Structure 1
Amino acid sequence: MARQYELDAIEKACRTAIEYKKFSYKFIQNIIENRMEDERIPEKKRELPKHNNLRGRDYYNNQQQTLN
């Protein structure tokens, strides 16, 4: 890989791979080939599972109002 790409691009791509815990040659190669070494990959937002014991923002906002 060092013969094909600039060392700076490889280092940046490796830092990105470490940050996202994607430790494959192909992942690093894709970052470099698509010139994404300076971009950050957005993380997917995960929703909380529906469960009776989980309290949301509204619950805690109401608690704050009753304490005042």
Structure 2
Amino acid sequence: MEKIRAWIGRVRAFFGEVQAELKKCSWPTGGELLGSTMVVIVSVVLLSTFVALSDGAIILILQAILPS
């Protein structure tokens, strides 16, 4: 029974330390979060467009070079 109480005490201490560390963190504002999200979305769209166009170009080149 004593081991269980000690374990519960360690778990409580752990979560108390986690809570203290989270209070020390610098959290982004809503505007910063929105701006960062938009940068990620635009980057993904641009990169996926580049990959799709490159893939299409490679397919066209290979079809022109290789006989059907």
Choose between structure 1 and 2: higher helix proportion.
2
> Common fold, TM-score beyond 0.5?
no
Considering only CA atoms, is the larger Rg found in Structure 1 or Structure 2?
Answer: 2
TM-score by length of 1: 0.27
Q: TM-score if structure 2 supplies the norm length?
A: 0.27
Q: Which has the higher contact order (CA 8 A, sep 6+)?
A: 1
